[in-house]
Chain A
């Protein structure tokens, strides 16, 4: 049976219509930000330039796509409908009457739905991994820059060691199916996921150690929430069964955090060395504040500008890394709808069909572009101050 097709303009209209929850959410958020932009500090200033608006728009677009993925996509991203194998864009699926908007791939899955669901994987792993890398980098970079000397030499040597590894080799060594039988990923996860807990405990302790009414609540909250997530992520022993991560996803997560935290470390170290010569740091030292109070409450807040810009760029870079992992078939399941895996599958068959390759490539590119534009305009705005 020959599949029925809808026309090109009908495809475009249908795609736009499919994204309706995204447009609605975008209109609300962008409209609200525009009205209140005077009150929104740095975020509000983004709306002063075209580049900034474009960056916010693209990032929010993919964020909402990830949130509303189940509403937007007409088909199951893993579901195969044999009759739709290798169909061109706009083919109508006879049973449900719905359309394979961007065609079907070699396993007869809907390319459009896979692209939409792929955004979920990327938007969960990339920001979370960047967050952990920031925690690790900040917690180690602050003392290295502040104390200097031996601590600095040792930590810098370790950071340079990791940075000297070509990323791809690191991934081939750390993200193999075999390594999940060894305790290495879990040990690394155990170390990395400890950093946020340490960070927040020290953060609250240095500030509120003389105020028992606050300190016990904050520390208790950190330890309970942190410990709960820690149990769930590292040991998969969450008593409530909410926090759960697949072993192969944990493996990817750990590898990405491992690869990008030395970069954060270097930036934080450099910024700390610069800021510790300022007068307000000297003032705090004269007041007799503890070194960690100065690092976390005097230096870190003043280093936030470059760190925010770097975080934006780093999320984009992590997205590229995830795509690389998918492209080499490392870690993620072979049928996973993430963009890298989709690009790998499609690029092998470019000679016969090109339509499955384009949606994931354009999706990945546009998301990273959005983040880069955001970072660029954030940098420009923070330089104006």
Chain B
């Protein structure tokens, strides 16, 4: 088990290395660098000035040297004035070094955000915190509701409750966040006026009024999927011999469901919930943009829209890490919960 986890962590690190290399390649394509130079210099700069800005800020060094600098295995160079030989900081707003230093991801320096004029760490981690709160609320709504729906539907397969709940779950998986967000805003904010259609004020203080819409919008897409998986697992458990034995022994139906079926039926949904995180990440981006909540998704969109290289790399590193680590947790947790399956 221990060596399995070590091997998986090795694969995760390799995957992260490959993915950041791909992202690094894509954000450093010529049109993207041009866009960055134009947004960072004043209006109407000539082509030569754009080029000299790129050279000055080190964007014209060898691709692998720059990737190494970002990673922290090659020293970062300050700007050197060719005439005087004096060195200045690359980006003054980030406290970049004036002497060549190893300062990359491995050393804990995620680089410098050109859009927000601050270090990536200072921008990214508060945003992650804000998204973490949103995610917690979403999981708090999504998991109990979907498990309840799945269990009620799977308890008696083919009954009217089952059919109604199944169609409802299919409908909820057919509703992406940007659709349910619009519909909920129309109903609850425009018609009824109960809730706020914007979560911009949630960064000052979260209230029921400004935070409910983002949470239910994000939860509804996942609920259907998890509920269907729970139902399938519940249906399978209910046909097992030990359930029949318990029923024949004279236990009440409710007792059998709660004491015998539930525990075995909840193993599969655990994996599904864990694997739901990558989907939630996309949903977070949509919901945060839609409701103007300043979290991780909002940061990612701003970084991508302005080709903010270091911030975008930081964002991809975080999201890839979340995806891979939840996969690992789901594998390990599954083996932990289900003694019949042990990792070889």
Which residues of chain A in 149-185 are interfacial with respect to chain B, using CB atoms and an 8 Å cutoff? 157, 160-161, 163-169, 172-174, 176-179, 181-182, 184
Report the minimum CB–CB distance from A173 to chain B (whole Å): 4
Residue numbers in A under 8 Å from B174 (CB-CB): 316, 365, 368-369, 371-372
Q: Which of B179, B315, B316 contacts A343 (CB 8 A)?
A: B179
State in angstroms the CA–CA spacing of A371 and B278 once bound together: 23
Residue B154 CB within 8 A of the other chain = no
Q: Which of A166, A177, A358, A361 contacts B282 (CB 8 A)?
A: A166
Binds B, one of A24-32, A233-241, A344-352: A344-352
CB <8 Å contact, B176 and A320: yes
**Contact A178:B35 (CB < 8 A) given known A357-B186, A364-B179:** yes
State in angstroms the CA–CA spacing of A376 and B272 once bound together: 18
**Contact A166:B176 (CB < 8 A) given known A172-B304, A173-B27:** no
CB <8 Å contact, A327 and B320: no
Q: Which of B15, B183, B281 contacts A166 (CB 8 A)?
A: B281
CB <8 Å contact, A176 and B32: yes
Residue A224 CB within 8 A of the other chain = no
Residue numbers in B under 8 Å from A358 (CB-CB): 182-183, 186
Report the minimum CB–CB distance from A60 to chain B (whole Å): 17
State in angstroms the CA–CA spacing of A184 and B282 once bound together: 24
Which residues of chain A in 318-357 are interfacial with respect to chain B, using CB atoms and an 8 Å cutoff? 320, 323-324, 327-328, 340, 343-344, 346-347, 350-351, 354, 357
Q: Which of B29, B175, B324 contacts A178 (CB 8 A)?
A: B29
Residue A373 CB within 8 A of the other chain = yes
Residue numbers in A under 8 Å from B301 (CB-CB): 172, 328
CB <8 Å contact, A372 and B173: yes
CB <8 Å contact, A174 and B26: yes
Residue numbers in B under 8 Å from A351 (CB-CB): 190, 197
**Contact A179:B281 (CB < 8 A) given known A169-B316, A169-B319, A351-B190:** no
State in angstroms the CA–CA spacing of A358 and B186 once bound together: 9
Residue A202 CB within 8 A of the other chain = no
CB <8 Å contact, B319 and A166: yes
Which residue from chain B places its CB closest to the CB of A364 in the assembled complex? Answer: B179
CB <8 Å contact, B197 and A350: yes
Residue numbers in B under 8 Å from A51 (CB-CB): 167
Residue numbers in A under 8 Å from B166 (CB-CB): 376
**Contact A350:B186 (CB < 8 A) given known A161-B19, A182-B30:** yes
CB <8 Å contact, A168 and B282: yes
Residue B285 CB within 8 A of the other chain = yes
Q: Which of A166, A172, A340, A368 contacts B178 (CB 8 A)?
A: A340
Residue B23 CB within 8 A of the other chain = yes
Which residues of chain A in 37-96 are interfacial with respect to chain B, using CB atoms and an 8 Å cutoff? 51
Report the minimum CB–CB distance from B336 to chain A (whole Å): 22
CB <8 Å contact, B300 and A168: yes
Report the minimum CB–CB distance from A262 to chain B (whole Å): 12
Residue numbers in B under 8 Å from A347 (CB-CB): 178, 181-182, 185, 290
Residue B9 CB within 8 A of the other chain = no
Which residues of chain B in 266-287 are interfacial with respect to chain A, using CB atoms and an 8 Å cutoff? 278, 281-282, 285-286
Residue numbers in B under 8 Å from A320 (CB-CB): 176
CB <8 Å contact, B26 and A173: yes
Residue B73 CB within 8 A of the other chain = no
Residue B171 CB within 8 A of the other chain = yes
Q: Mark B21-41, 1 if CB is under 8 A from A, else 0.
A: 011001101111011000000
Residue numbers in A under 8 Å from B167 (CB-CB): 51, 373
Residue numbers in B under 8 Å from A371 (CB-CB): 174
Please indicate which of the listed interface residues A166, A181, A344 has the most CB atoms of chain B within 10 Å of its own CB.
Answer: A166
Residue B195 CB within 8 A of the other chain = no
Residue numbers in A under 8 Å from B34 (CB-CB): 178
State in angstroms the CA–CA spacing of A344 and B323 once bound together: 27
State in angstroms the CA–CA spacing of A79 and B218 once bound together: 35
Please indicate which of the listed interface residues B31, B173, B182, B289 has the most CB atoms of chain A within 10 Å of its own CB.
Answer: B182
Residue B343 CB within 8 A of the other chain = no
CB <8 Å contact, A182 and B170: no
State in angstroms the CA–CA spacing of A157 and B285 once bound together: 26
State in angstroms the CA–CA spacing of A82 and B316 once bound together: 44
Q: Which of B186, B290, B305, B316 contacts A354 (CB 8 A)?
A: B186
Residue B99 CB within 8 A of the other chain = no
Report the minimum CB–CB distance from B328 to chain A (whole Å): 12
CB <8 Å contact, A324 and B282: yes
Residue numbers in A under 8 Å from B19 (CB-CB): 161, 164-165
CB <8 Å contact, A166 and B323: yes
CB <8 Å contact, A166 and B278: yes
Q: Which of B11, B173, B285 contacts A168 (CB 8 A)?
A: B285
State in angstroms the CA–CA spacing of A369 and B168 once bound together: 10
Residue numbers in A under 8 Å from B323 (CB-CB): 163-164, 166
A181-B31, A350-B197 given; name 10 further pairs at CB < 8 Å.
A164-B324, A165-B320, A166-B319, A168-B300, A169-B316, A173-B23, A328-B289, A343-B178, A350-B185, A361-B182
Question: Can you list 27 A-B contacts (CB < 8 A)?
Answer: A157-B11, A157-B15, A161-B15, A161-B19, A164-B15, A164-B19, A168-B282, A169-B23, A169-B300, A169-B316, A172-B304, A172-B305, A174-B26, A178-B31, A178-B34, A316-B174, A323-B179, A324-B286, A344-B178, A347-B178, A347-B185, A350-B185, A350-B186, A351-B190, A351-B197, A354-B186, A357-B186
Q: Which 10 A-B pairs have the closest CB atoms?
A: A178-B31, A172-B304, A369-B174, A368-B174, A173-B26, A166-B281, A320-B176, A361-B179, A166-B319, A327-B178
- Give residues in B with beta carbon < 8 Å to A: 11, 15, 18-19, 22-23, 26-27, 29-32, 34-35, 166-167, 170-171, 173-176, 178-179, 181-183, 185-186, 189-190, 197, 278, 281-282, 285-286, 289-290, 297, 300-301, 304-305, 315-316, 319-320, 323-324
